[in-house]
A and B are shown apart, each in its own frame.
Chain A
């Protein structure tokens, strides 16, 4: 008898997973195609609207929003960013990326805030959700792409779905944290004056947790931008396209301007949402 020295594979887990995914694809393909529809429709609409609008009007709108939440200096920076990406010939890609980020973040909020509330209200649900979120957050972003491609096929919509999965955790976590940090006396005061559970949530917990929820939204936006670029690997459009074209052709100039566009866009969105947190 000899010692087992880990030279042979005993657990063919990779095969199991493959079988599982195959099974899912075979039996639930229609279901996943239906999930895709709302993402697809809203993405098409926003992408079309941003690209069809005169660029100067888009710049003006962004300037107004920035001025409202983030002050004059940041407004100048926002105008600079959009003019620059235009001059670099990346306007259309930037608008597509923006559309993808907006759609991903809206879906993250719609799903994430209720999940955060639910986990703040139930320790058991939190205990269940936590490892799921850990997995979503720590899995290398490329790894998300494979099952997404198998279930949703390639393209921009699949890219957005991968982004939603990747960017969801922060808003769930920070909503949960924000609500858990509301002073218990405030909740008790609400109950003493006859607040129902829903009133406690809407009139005390959410208003008190609002800064934390907004910070979660900010983080979700940042993660969405980074993922949207990677999503170009599975055929999504936007600023990721010049980056990967550049990498494939060893065209460092093209890759760099794609990168610059991404970073500047990220900074603009970050400053605006930070401003919203503080107000």
Chain B
């Protein structure tokens, strides 16, 4: 898993007539825009450095024009490298001759495109077999392997159809099958699911993840969609203006965004970044039990009459003590009828969240607990709870806006 398969060192791409000059200006510390004004040349990628491990899904994220497509196209040299190195299994891609490059593309790396880029004049199975056809694999063998790939994406029944008879989602499955058929170590996916509607997109992500469980390939995935990046990425690289500004696991990036761009990126895409727990906590619809006060029997009575499963126990100054349930109260009463101490009835694994926590932070807690999550302010005072319902409604509300 930790075996390195792709290494990118000091990679630069300049679009224009005199890249050397642009590189010099870059080294003098000029910005991308100044160089464009001075020379008319565009800096596609500047000084990219990273490694990708075998079996990893590495997501490259950024706004359009941030250089992510250019970066990925330099991995298989669809775009020529201006300076720097790309090593695939130790082999410097920049130094390959035409024949070696063709060999690399045929045997080790395949690609899935945003626009699907299926051949309209070929049937689905011929499209799936396209890479093998180019590699001059004999016909029966390549059709077998194409069929296997179509089975993996669930399209074996469509083998004889033409691509234009299919929906976008199905066409992209053919695109995926075409990439799988050559059995590559590395798959480059360029905004592969961005052209699909959200439901199909999620479905395709699931399919990719389940394929990945069966056969671990190294996937370099370009996306501008944070949710997608979080769902499928083992690690994410964020690009801004041709530079990689941060690389890390989704959690690392969420918790320590490297700069405002990264932060804004997250905020712009995901409403859960803006609101924190305090904003959506509700005091209504919950049963609060004061302690010390009436005993467990009275508390149980109140829960039953309010038709609630859980009660929140607070002390006189509203400090949160714990959660009791009807079941835990009944057990306490049966075991020890006279006690006035609730603490034995407190449920395990209760972790109150902080009012300033973001929705991302509390997501896991809200989803995994059966009870609404208690929210405390800085003074550890109880200010309300967040139920799954409220959490989802907030998400939906923000998404609709």
Contacts and interface: CB of A to CB of B under 8 A. Distances in A.
Contacts of A208: 119-121
B106 interface: yes
Interface string A179-206: 0000101101111111110010001100
A192 B105 contact: yes
B157 interface: no
A207 interface: yes
A195 B113 contact: no
A210 B122 CA distance: 13
B134 A192 contact: no
Contact of A185 (B105, B109, B117, B178): B117
B134 A193 contact: yes
A265 B73 CA distance: 53
B121 A207 contact: yes
B88 to A, nearest CB: 14
Given A185-B115, A185-B117, A186-B117, A194 B135 contact: yes
Given A186-B119, A208-B121, A199 B105 contact: no
Given A195-B134, A208-B120, A189 B113 contact: yes
Interface string A194-235: 111001000110011010000000000000000000000000
A199 B117 CA distance: 16
Contacts of A207: 119, 121
Contacts of A196: 102, 134
Question: On chain A, which size bracket covers the interface?
Answer: 10 to 19
Is chain B's binding surface mostly helix, strand, loop or mixed?
mixed
A192 B110 contact: yes
Given A194-B105, A204-B119, A199 B134 contact: yes
A193 B117 contact: no
B131 interface: yes
A189 B115 CA distance: 10
Contact of A193 (B103, B105, B115, B120): B105
A185 B115 CA distance: 8
Residue with the highest number of chain A CB atoms closer than 10 Å, among B107, B115, B118, B134:
B134
Question: On chain B, which size bracket covers the interface?
Answer: 20 to 34
Contacts of B109: 192
A202 to B, nearest CB: 11
Nearest to B175: A189
Contacts of B118: 189
B130 interface: yes
> Nearest 3 A-B pairs (CB), nearest first?
A194-B106, A194-B105, A189-B117
A174 B117 CA distance: 23
Interface string B126-169: 00001101110000000000000000000000000000000000
Given A185-B113, A185-B115, A207-B121, A193 B131 contact: yes
Interface in A157-191: 183, 185-186, 188-191
A188 B134 contact: no
Is chain A's binding surface mostly helix, strand, loop or mixed?
helix
Nearest to A196: B102
B182 interface: yes
A192 B78 contact: yes
Nearest to B104: A194
Nearest to A197: B98
Contact of B105 (A183, A186, A191, A210): A191
A194 B103 CA distance: 7
17 contacts: A183-B117, A185-B113, A188-B78, A188-B117, A189-B117, A189-B118, A192-B78, A192-B109, A192-B110, A192-B111, A192-B188, A193-B182, A194-B102, A194-B103, A194-B104, A194-B106, A207-B121
Nearest to B182: A193
Contacts of A189: 111, 113, 117-119
A187 B311 CA distance: 65
A203 B134 contact: yes
A188 B118 CA distance: 11
Contacts of A194: 102-107, 131, 134-135
B76 interface: yes
B78 A193 contact: no
A183 B110 CA distance: 19
Nearest to A208: B121
Contacts of B135: 194
Contacts of B107: 194
A203 B122 CA distance: 10
Contacts of A190: 130, 134
A186 B135 CA distance: 17
B119 A192 contact: no
B62 to A, nearest CB: 20
A87 to B, nearest CB: 44
Contact of B111 (A183, A193, A204): A193
Contacts of B130: 190, 193
Nearest to A210: B121
A189 B105 CA distance: 11
A207 B131 CA distance: 17
Contacts of B78: 188, 191-192
Given A185-B117, A193-B134, 4 more contacts: A190-B134, A193-B131, A194-B105, A204-B119
B194 to A, nearest CB: 14
Interface in A138-168: none
Contacts of A204: 119
Contacts of B113: 185, 188-189, 192
Nearest to B115: A185
